[in-house]
Amino acid sequence: MLTGFVPTMGALHEGHLSLIRQARTDNDLVIVSIFVNPTQFGAGEDLDKYPRPLERDLDLCEAQGADIVFTPQPQDIYPSGYQTYVDPGSLAEGLCGASRPGHFRGVATVVLKLLNITVPTRAYFGMKDYQQLRIIQRMVEDLDMPTQIVPMPTVREKDGLAMSSRNAYLSAEERVAAPVLIRALRHAAQIWAHGQRDVETLKKAALEVIATEPLVRVDYVQALDPVTLRPELGPGTGLLLAGAIFIGKTRLIDNVVVNGDGAELPSAPAQ
């Protein structure tokens, strides 16, 4: 029996639903987890106000054909005396790992636990959280875990904004400003497509686009090898353009992965 697993923190949107539908297509049994994982939130982040519309989420899971929705409480995952965490190594050091210390330690730990609990054949992860995806791919390989990790394309609103549970925090004015991040990353991808291979030039081009939007503060923009997440580009592996911005108090991330011709890849390249 093939089991597909979709780990989520709830507040489901079309991005999550696309993962559940793919899991439904590929497998006999589909499990979705809804767990707002406290260990991946830093002090002062949005753990307490993270949206938790459980009834709505359960209806959506059912409508997409999920068989089981696993909704543990924090004490189920981290009982009293809990001590053991996954160190995700150098893939977790840059990008969001630099801005959110300890975030990927919490992500890798909870994903390992959820995979051990559900023992799926396949687990589905969106490419919007590209660094998370690479860390999970690496963890599964390094720890000889039997689950196949299936990367899924980012689902976007009509104006290009990547779907995210945190988009709900944006005011109307902030929502209009938010797509500047994907416009900036795609602008840099165009320059890459015309042959520019200097990562600093590509970053600068993206930053110039973001600077046109006064509501936005940049956390980071990076141009990296999509496999190693390092600035030294490997031969033929293409390019990851990744960014994080603050609009008001809301932090949004996005990325594009492009091949040597500048075409956006629908999924993460193989390791």
Interface stretch with ligand PAF, choices 4-12, 190-198, 214-222, 237-245 (CB under 6 A): 4-12
**16 classed as catalytic:** yes
Residue 124, phi then psi, degrees to nearest 5: -110, 130
Q: CB burial class (10 A; 0-12, 13-18, 19+) of residue 230?
A: middle
Interface stretch with ligand PAF, choices 6-14, 208-216, 219-227, 248-256 (CB under 6 A): 6-14
Shortest CB 193 distance to ligand PAF, Å: 29
Shortest CB 214 distance to ligand PAF, Å: 30
| Residue in 3, 4, 5, 9 binding ligand PAF, rule: CB under 6 A | 9
**Contacts of ligand PAF in 38-97 (CB under 6 A):** 40
Shortest CB 248 distance to ligand PAF, Å: 22
Give the residue from 161, 163, 165, 258 showing the smallest Cα distance to 216: 161
Asked whether position 129 contacts ligand PAF by CB under 6 A, the answer is: yes
Is the CB of residue 126 less than 8 Å from the CB of residue 132? no
Shortest CB 255 distance to ligand PAF, Å: 14
| Residue in 12, 107, 221, 247 binding ligand PAF, rule: CB under 6 A | 107
Give the residue from 54, 64, 45 showing the smallest Cα distance to 9: 54
Other beta carbons less than 10 A from residue 81's beta carbon? 5
Asked whether position 10 contacts ligand PAF by CB under 6 A, the answer is: no
| Residue in 27, 37, 109, 154 binding ligand PAF, rule: CB under 6 A | 37
| Residue in 3, 8, 154, 222 binding ligand PAF, rule: CB under 6 A | 8
Give the residue from 183, 70, 88, 184 showing the smallest Cα distance to 133: 88
Asked whether position 111 contacts ligand PAF by CB under 6 A, the answer is: yes
Shortest CB 54 distance to ligand PAF, Å: 15
Catalytic residue among 13, 16, 103, 194: 16
Nearer CB in complex with ligand PAF: 111/184: 111
Whole-angstrom distance, CA of residue 3 vs CA of residue 123: 9
| Residue in 4, 7, 97, 262 binding ligand PAF, rule: CB under 6 A | 7
Instruction: Point out the residues that are catalytic.
Output: 16
Q: Residue numbers of the site for ligand PAF (CB under 6 A)?
A: 7-9, 37, 40, 107, 110-111, 129, 132
